[in-house]
Amino acid sequence: MRKISILNYKGGVGKTSLTINLGDRLSRSGANVLLIDCDRQRNTSSILPADTEVRATLLEVLTGQVRLFDAMYEARPGLYVVPAHTDLNKAARHLTVEGSPRVLKGLRYGVEALEGIDYVLLDHAPSYSTITDAALLASEEILIPVELEAFSMDGLIDMITMLTERTLPDLEHEVKITGVVPSNLDFTKKMTTIYLDTLKKTFKELVLPGVRADTQITRSQSVHQTVYEYNRHAKAVEDYKAIADVLVGVREVV
């Protein structure tokens, strides 16, 4: 089982789009994929809603009321979702007040208990909280989507420094950065190529295939579909496939 956090503390960089469309691509390749929505904005679980009334959410999982398995629903064949809740702050307070490693590792234990799941993708909120800690503890890898714009490089380096020098050492948990994913690439703009070259010089082989700017992505989400479902000929379909192909080619973490 691959357990991958989709993480960036900056909003609007394509975390949810990457989570949903990468998950869709992996499931279409025959894998069983679980998406865990860790953001109280509920973007992932709103775009891929349940067909029936939701039994439980991540809130109940993190507060110990239900098992992770009991909060899962199948949004598409082989593509499962654990939905977020608009009051995930309540879960964050619970984790902070309880404070014990056992409680903070509750999501990790739930993921480890799952059977038949090949990939777990955790869609993080664009801000840090104890839910971030719980989700990182449930992960073994990180994908970082980044939009190539002014100051994004400095912000990316600061975030990685915080992760590797403070957050993960404090959690006493090792998570490797599997890749940085450039998003919303618009090569009609001269600075896009310059920023991309800088990104590759800084992070070298960690830079994965990027996602080009494509209105089909937002249009698909507005009608609760993945981009493949909305328009399988969209250029973004090729881009998410390229990222999935790289992931599948990476040696699985045991």
- Which DSSP string do the residues of 107-156 spell out, in sequence order? HHHHHHT--S--EEEEEE-SS--HHHHHHHHT-SEEEEEEE-STTHHHHH
pLDDT confidence of residue 217: 96
Least trusted range by pLDDT, from 10-14, 27-31, 75-79, 179-183: 10-14
- Structural domain harbouring 59: 2-247
Burial of 249 (0-12, 13-18, 19+ CB in 10 A): exposed
Alpha-carbon distance of 254 to 251, in angstroms, equals 9
Alpha-carbon distance of 153 to 198, in angstroms, equals 8
Least trusted range by pLDDT, from 10-14, 117-121, 200-204, 222-226: 10-14
Mean pLDDT throughout 195-224? 93
CATH number of the structural domain spanning residue 234 = 3.40.50.300
Half-sphere exposure of 44 (CA within 13 A, CB side): 35
Q: Where residue 250 falls among pLDDT bands split at 50, 70, 90?
A: low
The two tokens of residue 115 are 């059977």
Digit-coded pLDDT (tens) for 135-157? 999 999 999 999 988 777 778 88
pLDDT confidence of residue 149: 80
Burial 3-26 (b: 16+ CB within 10 A, else e): bbbbbbbbeebbbbbbbbbbbbbb
**Closest alpha carbon to 26 in 181, 242, 183, 213:** 242
Alpha-carbon distance of 98 to 118, in angstroms, equals 31
- CA distances in angstroms from 177 to 73, 83, 161, 208, 245, listed in the order given: 28, 25, 12, 11, 17
pLDDT score of 251 more than 70: no
Average pLDDT, rounded, for the chain = 92
pLDDT score of 253 more than 50: no
The number of distinct structural domains making up the chain is 1
In a domain, 128, yes or no: yes
Alpha-carbon distance of 92 to 71, in angstroms, equals 18
Alpha-carbon distance of 224 to 218, in angstroms, equals 10
pLDDT confidence of residue 153: 74
| Phi, psi angles (nearest 5°) of residue 217 | -65, -55
In a domain, 210, yes or no: yes
CB 137 within 8 A of CB 108: yes
- CA distances in angstroms from 174 to 3, 4, 86, 122, listed in the order given: 12, 12, 29, 16
In a domain, 253, yes or no: no
In a domain, 254, yes or no: no
Mean pLDDT throughout 74-83? 97
Q: Which of 49-53, 118-122, 161-165 has the highest mean pLDDT?
A: 118-122
pTM of the model: 0.93
Alpha-carbon distance of 40 to 16, in angstroms, equals 12
